[in-house]
Every structure is written in C-alpha cells, then in structure tokens.
C-alpha cells in the first residue's frame, strides 16, 4: 500500500472494505468515499471528525471530512452505539464454585503411593476453608451453623496459597533426559473438597463478607480428594497432635 499513490491506495481500500462501507452507509444515511491514504502532519479543520483504526500490527490516524457537523455527530453516536451494543455475558451464566478445606502439592510418585488409612498432613494448621470460583477467584470461608459463610469478598487467586489452580507449571526443557525429570517427580496439585455447586454469574458478583453459599451434604470431616482437577479419592479431616490432615478412606479404586 505504501508504494501506491494516495488516490490509488484509497480505491484499493474501498474495494477491500466494500461490504463494510455499504453497511456503515446504510446506518448513517450518507455515502462514504475513501479519498486518500497518505501520511499527513497538517492540523485538521473544525469540520473533520478524527478517529483511529487499530489492527494487530499498527494504528492508523484517520479523518472524516464532511460539509457539516451533523454527519460527524451521527458518526460519533454510531460508534457509541456499537460499543454499547456489545453483548454481555448473561447473569444466568453458570460458574463452578468449589469449597476446599486445603490444598497442597505432592509428587506423582507420592500420589501413587497413597493407601487407605494413610494421612496427608496440611502445610499449615489454619482452620480456614476457601471457595474457589472458576479457578480464578477465591474467598476465605468458615463452616457456620447456617452453612459455608464467606469471610471476605472474592478476589484474584494469584498470590494466594490456592494459586496452583492456575496450572502455571513449567514443563522440563526439551533437552532434559528422562533421568533428569522422571514421571515420579512430576508435581500434582492436591485439594480436599468439601462440596461444589454451579452459581450464576449475577450471584457471584453480589458475593460479600457474611454471605452464605448453600451446598448440599457438607460436613467438617468428610472431603473428596481432588488431584489436578480430577476426583481420585475420599477421606476425613483428622488432627494428629498439633497438625491437621486427611486420613485416606478410599483411593483410586471406587473413589
């Protein structure tokens, strides 16, 4: 396009965007002509309507010249209408909401070795649980008499101890041999889930401290064991001395 004369480049542009220009003309009730494509440093006159075309590779400053301000006003309103008309996600759109008692990372070899009656100890002694929403938001929670209750509004999961759900594990370099990175050493994200549900987007937006999220059959002791997002077992919360953990009830078989 840079090798063409400004008028010839304009004709080529009109040909490429013929259908789009016809649609815009039908909305504005005016004919549109691309008259020139060329670099200019001149100051626009008052009747010119300036706008920007943005593509993946570059940004082009443009000017719409008209005999009066009426067309420029209609063009501005048309652009505003396009922005407002962008469809939004409906409030009924469901998001997965999980209530987790704790989460930690173990190796694939350690996961394979887990048997009934084994105990997996938590990394900390906190009694706190958390809601994890669509694997991108989380909110600390407690189990109240009325059900799971939020202690804070949902926030980004990045930076929290639940951040591993974003699955940012970096695979080994291609030049690493199997001896340097064996299957048994691969990390596995392990979570202990008290319950889950699907919540409409509109309700998620309204979640605030003190909100109760209804979940069926939630107890403080029984948890599903989730490995990399897949249910692999069942267990119960236990205290051993000063530490908390999960005693394995079932693993892999009939989990």
Q: Extract the runs of DSSP E, i.e. beta strands, from the chain.
A: 48-54, 59-65, 94-107, 119-121, 129-133, 137-144, 147-150, 155-156, 187-200, 222-227, 230-240, 243-251
Name the DSSP class of 72. Answer: H
Task: Out of 26, 54, 84, pick the residue that ends a domain.
Answer: 84
Same domain flag for 70 and 100: no
Same domain flag for 26 and 127: no
Same domain flag for 122 and 224: yes
- Which positions ≥6 away from 54 have C-beta within 8 Å? 60
| pLDDT at 96 exceeding the cut of 50 | yes
Same domain flag for 76 and 124: no
Average pLDDT over residues 200-229: 89
Q: Which residue has the higher pLDDT, 28 or 171?
A: 28
| pLDDT tens, position by position, 173-209 | 555 555 545 778 888 889 999 999 999 999 999 999 9
Same domain flag for 126 and 221: yes
CA separation for the pair 221, 148 (Å, rounded): 14
Q: Which residue has the higher pLDDT, 124 or 18?
A: 18
- Which positions ≥6 away from 222 have C-beta within 8 Å? 194, 234, 235, 236, 237
- This prediction's pTM: 0.59
Same domain flag for 155 and 239: yes
Q: How many domains does the chain have?
A: 2
| pLDDT tens, position by position, 138-170 | 999 998 888 899 999 999 888 776 776 555 455
Same domain flag for 100 and 146: yes
Same domain flag for 140 and 219: yes
Same domain flag for 115 and 234: yes
* Domain span including residue 66: 6-84
Output the pLDDT for position 44: 55
CB 105 within 8 A of CB 238: no
Output the pLDDT for position 174: 55
| pLDDT tens, position by position, 57-89 | 667 677 776 666 666 677 767 666 655 656 678
């Amino acid at each position: 396009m840079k090798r063409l004369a400004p008028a010839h480049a304009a004709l080529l542009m009109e040909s490429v965007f013929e259908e789009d220009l016809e649609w815009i003309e039908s909305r504005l009730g005016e004919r549109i002509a691309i008259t020139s494509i060329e670099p200019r440093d001149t100051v626009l006159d008052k009747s010119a309507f300036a706008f920007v075309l943005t593509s993946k590779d570059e940004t082009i400053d443009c000017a719409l010249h008209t005999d009066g301000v009426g067309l420029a006003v209609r063009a501005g309103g048309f652009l505003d209408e396009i922005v407002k008309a962008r469809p939004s996600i409906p409030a009924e759109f469901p998001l997965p909401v999980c209530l987790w008692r704790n989460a930690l990372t173990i190796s694939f070899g350690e996961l394979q070795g887990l048997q009934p009656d084994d105990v997996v100890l938590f990394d900390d002694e906190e009694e706190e649980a958390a809601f994890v929403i669509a694997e991108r938001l989380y909110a600390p929670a407690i189990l109240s008499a009325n059900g799971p209750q939020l202690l804070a509004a949902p926030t980004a999961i990045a930076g929290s101890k639940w951040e591993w759900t974003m699955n940012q594990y970096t695979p080994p370099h291609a030049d690493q041999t199997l001896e340097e990175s064996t299957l048994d050493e691969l990390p596995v994200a392990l979570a202990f889930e008290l319950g889950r549900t699907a919540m409409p987007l509109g309700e998620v937006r309204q979640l605030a401290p003190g909100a109760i999220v209804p979940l069926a059959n939630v107890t403080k002791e029984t948890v599903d064991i989730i490995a990399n997002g897949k249910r692999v077992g069942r267990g119960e919360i236990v205290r051993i001395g000063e530490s908390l953990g999960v005693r394995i009830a079932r693993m892999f078989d009939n989990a």
